[in-house]
Amino acid sequence: MDKKSIIGLVLICLVFVVFAIINRPTEEQKAQIKHYQDSVAKAKALSSQQQKQNKETDTFSIDSLKMQATSNDSLKQELKTMVEEKYSVFSSSALADNKNIVLENDVLSVQLSTKGGIIKQVSLKDYKNYGGKDNVSFFTENGNNYGLHLSMGSNIVNTEELCFDVLVNGKPYTENTPIKVSGKDSVVVSMRLYTDKADTTVISLENTEKNTDKYIEYRYTLRGGDYRIGYTIAFNNMGNVLKDESSIEMQWDSQLRLKEKDKKIELQNSSIYYMLSDEVEHLKEQGRDDSVTESSSIPIKWISYKQQFFSTILISKDNSSDFNSATMVTHTDTNGMSVRKMHSVFDINYNAQNKHSEYNYDLFFGPNKYRIFKNYKIDLEKTIPLGWGFFLLQWVNRFVIIPVFDFLQKFDLGMGLIILLLTLLVKLVLFPLAYKSFSSTAKMKVIQPEIQKINEKYPKQDQAMQKQQATMQLYRRAGINPMTGCLPMLLQFPILVAMYRFFPSSIELRQQPFLWADDLSTYDSILNLPFNIPLYGNHISLFCLLMTVAQLLYTRMTMSQQSQTNAMPGMKVMMYGMPIFMLFILNNLSAALNYYYLISLLISVLQMVIIRRTIDEKKILERLEKNSKKPMNKSKWQKRMEDLEKKNRQLMEERSKNQRRR
């Protein structure tokens, strides 16, 4: 490493050190951060303790007493006291039996439970987990729940512990058959949590009278062919039960199950996304094994529990339903078939002065499909990683690649052929740039002997300016613009990176087979290794291997046309090392991505061969010889450089004279 490189590295390190010192938090900021972390930890501990106590009470006290109190009046009274103490005016709902209701439309199968009035499970009819056995499901058993926390005196009543009454399209529902809707049809299921009448006792344990005009309602609307379920929370005449000073929180817990082949990749693409005003944010854990907490006091439009290809999203439909504040936690779960545990707590704008209040939401259960999210017009498509917003990366995917990909899908050609056609179209559009780049490189090779003569004529370092001028004059005489070799490659870079983001994020490729790959959305494996190679993995991807061979071939052809000067002795090693480096990077990524790069490289090799044959070396040399006899008009830039060189020479001469005099 030379002196300049060492100085450069030292300066870079100094910049990072200075930046870290300037941006380190003050003592006041550190205290605020510690206070926030302590508050979150305390809240989580209290929540966990409360849940544990509730579970113990339900399991070992209320349920056991309920079974034994059928014919024992003393136990009935004990049960009455215990339930009323804990659930107050919702006591009878704590003793009711759980029932399930099944709803279906063209894309969803939804199971509702009267226990908590919640969606117990949702299955997608058109998507299956990796392996093809079970349908992709959300809100599966264990670890999935949501409900309201109601402050009532010294107790906090959780609605998920209570049983709701059921109404379907406004009428009591007693049947046990699935309710199906399709097309433009819809069905409305109301789950109502009524309060008990003041004089009612729980001694009978059955047929307790309720105030049918005082209730909390969860209203679900299922429409035909829609991944969204309308979800309304209503409070009717609850002012004397839930007062203004009461705090109403909604808690949503979910344990995300493994749905894809590669758990590591799915883990890296699973997080909590949310929309603050007009900006989409997310918890930036990126696969770490610790929990990440984020709190916001800005109104939130929607909260998404996102996985690699599927999401569960709670969407506010109007400003009054926005969440005033929220605390969100995600925790990596490496056990079994689980990926992450999600936890959110947010406030609801409840006002006891209103006799009837409604808060309208949508619950989305479905695929992370760009067109579906785009049609909702609430920026959900920003949860799909299509690349950075700068340097055209997102624009290329949103306005070029995705429309073309969707158009080709209409012909039902199979994903392998669609990717091939997409690659051909991209290369066709970029061909003029590729032609200029390859032809410029080929011409540069022709004039290499002349460039070598210039290097021999100006070998010293202080002659660099003269050597540069002579080289540029040679290029002009030969009719070569050196920028045409670099600029086209720079313009192609956004498309190259856009594809790197597009293929691993496209659910359309999920479980689509092609040749030996059983799923183009994840890596293809022709051999599973009994050990793990750091960075590389425990398998061999054939598409990645073929892509690496094609890249080495392309590199060899490119290097054969470029000059290898003493100024860049390590260039050859770096160019040949890059394909090997990419082999380690891409081995665990999408087979579709490696397939695209493979086809793209092979087409580039073919273009290079064809363009090289169109270059007439004799004509270039004849033009060079002919132009060498003509006086070349100097550009303004050349004149400025010559004037600058003259001034530098004069200064050097004056300095040398002064030194001699001394």
Q: Look at residue 451 and tell me whether its pLDDT is greater than 70.
A: yes
* Angle (nearest 5°) at CA 583 between 581 and 586: 110
Burial classification of residue 365, based on how many CB atoms lie within 10 Å of its CB (0-12 exposed, 13-18 middle, 19 or more buried): buried
Q: How far apart are CA 587 and CA 581, in angstroms?
A: 10
The tally of CA atoms less than 13 A away on the side-chain side of residue 100 is: 9
Mean pLDDT along residues 157-182? 87
Instruction: Give 265's contacts (C-beta < 8 A, 6+ positions apart).
Output: 308, 504, 522, 588, 589
Q: Look at residue 321 and tell me whether its pLDDT is greater than 50.
A: yes
What pLDDT is attached to residue 48? Answer: 46
Mean pLDDT along residues 551-574? 67
pLDDT above 70 covers a percentage of the chain that reads 72
Q: How far apart are CA 327 and CA 422, in angstroms?
A: 43
Rounded (10°) CA dihedral 466, 471, 472, 477: 130
What pLDDT is attached to residue 188? Answer: 94
What pLDDT is attached to residue 474? Answer: 73
Mean pLDDT along residues 482-507? 76
Q: How far apart are CA 457 and CA 416, in angstroms?
A: 55
Secondary structure element (H or E) that encloses residue 608, with its range: helix 591-614
Q: Give the residue from 525, 528, 47 showing the smallest Cα distance to 252.
A: 47
Q: Which of 52-61, 288-297, 502-511 has the lowest mean pLDDT?
A: 52-61
Q: Look at residue 306 and tell me whether its pLDDT is greater than 80.
A: yes
Strand-pair category, 186-196 with 326-332: unpaired
The distance from CA 429 to its chain's CA centroid, rounded to whole angstroms, is: 29
Q: pLDDT band at residue 614, thresholds of 50, 70 and 90?
A: confident
pTM of the model: 0.77
State the sign of the Cα–Cα–Cα–Cα dihedral 604, 610, 614, 616.
positive
Structure token pair of residue 659: 């030194």
What pLDDT is attached to residue 293? Answer: 63
Mean pLDDT along residues 43-57? 46
What pLDDT is attached to residue 217? Answer: 94
What pLDDT is attached to residue 424? Answer: 92
Highest mean pLDDT among 59-68, 199-208, 242-251: 242-251
Q: Give the residue from 233, 371, 238 showing the smallest Cα distance to 314.
A: 233
Burial classification of residue 91, based on how many CB atoms lie within 10 Å of its CB (0-12 exposed, 13-18 middle, 19 or more buried): buried
Q: Other CB atoms closer than 10 Å to residue 6's CB: what's the count?
A: 10
Strand-pair category, 248-257 with 228-236: unpaired
Per the CB < 8 A criterion, the answer to whether 519 and 513 are in contact is: yes
Q: How far apart are CA 324 and CA 300, in angstroms?
A: 7
The tally of CA atoms less than 13 A away on the side-chain side of residue 416 is: 9
Instruction: Give 593's contacts (C-beta < 8 A, 6+ positions apart).
Output: 499, 500, 503, 504, 586
Q: Look at residue 252 and tell me whether its pLDDT is greater than 70.
A: yes
Per the CB < 8 A criterion, the answer to whether 380 and 481 are in contact is: no
Structure token pair of residue 2: 């030379």
Q: Look at residue 438 and tell me whether its pLDDT is greater than 60.
A: yes
What pLDDT is attached to residue 564? Answer: 45
What pLDDT is attached to residue 392? Answer: 62
Q: Look at residue 288 and tell me whether its pLDDT is greater than 60.
A: no
| Model confidence pLDDT, tens digit, residues 54-109 | 444 444 456 665 655 555 666 666 667 777 777 888 888 887 888 899 999 999 99
Backbone angles phi, psi at 544, to 5 degrees: -65, -40
Per the CB < 8 A criterion, the answer to whether 477 and 624 are in contact is: yes
- In 153-185, which ranges are E strands? 155-158, 165-168, 171-172, 179-180
Q: Other CB atoms closer than 10 Å to residue 142's CB: what's the count?
A: 8
Burial classification of residue 43, based on how many CB atoms lie within 10 Å of its CB (0-12 exposed, 13-18 middle, 19 or more buried): middle
Q: Other CB atoms closer than 10 Å to residue 168's CB: what's the count?
A: 16
Please report how the helices 464-478 and 617-628 are oriented relative to each other, as an axis angle in degrees rounded to 10: 120
Using DSSP, state whether 661 is helix, strand or coil: helix
Alpha-carbon separation of residue 285 from 270, 292, 303, 615, 642 (angstroms) = 9, 7, 16, 53, 56
Give per-residue burial for 563-596: e unless 16+ CB within 10 Å, then b: eeeeeeeeeeeeeeeebeebbeebbbbbbbbbbb
What pLDDT is attached to residue 629? Answer: 55
Q: Look at residue 40 and tell me whether its pLDDT is greater than 60.
A: no
Helix, strand and coil percent figures for the chain, each rounded to 5: 45, 25, 30
Per the CB < 8 A criterion, the answer to whether 498 and 393 are in contact is: yes
Please report how the helices 415-446 and 483-505 are oriented relative to each other, as an axis angle in degrees rounded to 10: 160
CATH 2.70.98.90 in the chain, residue ranges: 36-383
Q: How far apart are CA 149 and CA 160, in angstroms?
A: 9
Please report how the helices 617-628 and 415-446 are oriented relative to each other, as an axis angle in degrees rounded to 10: 40
Which comes out higher in pLDDT, residue 651 or 589? 589
Q: Look at residue 35 and tell me whether its pLDDT is greater than 60.
A: no
Per the CB < 8 A criterion, the answer to whether 369 and 507 are in contact is: yes
What pLDDT is attached to residue 376? Answer: 92
Q: Other CB atoms closer than 10 Å to residue 98's CB: what's the count?
A: 11
Per the CB < 8 A criterion, the answer to whether 524 and 423 are in contact is: no
Q: Look at residue 660 and tell me whether its pLDDT is greater than 90.
A: no
| Model confidence pLDDT, tens digit, residues 423-434 | 999 888 888 877
What pLDDT is attached to residue 628? Answer: 59
Q: What is the mean pLDDT of the chain?
A: 78
Give the CATH architecture of domain 36-383: Distorted Sandwich (2.70)
Q: Look at residue 514 and tell me whether its pLDDT is greater than 90.
A: yes
Alpha-carbon separation of residue 423 from 386, 418, 499, 589, 603 (angstroms) = 18, 9, 10, 18, 9
What pLDDT is attached to residue 499? Answer: 86
Secondary structure element (H or E) that encloses residue 150, with its range: strand 145-152
Which comes out higher in pLDDT, residue 20 or 347? 347
Strand-pair category, 179-180 with 100-104: parallel
Q: Give the residue from 52, 145, 131 showing the smallest Cα distance to 341.
A: 145
| Model confidence pLDDT, tens digit, residues 462-481 | 667 777 777 777 777 666 66
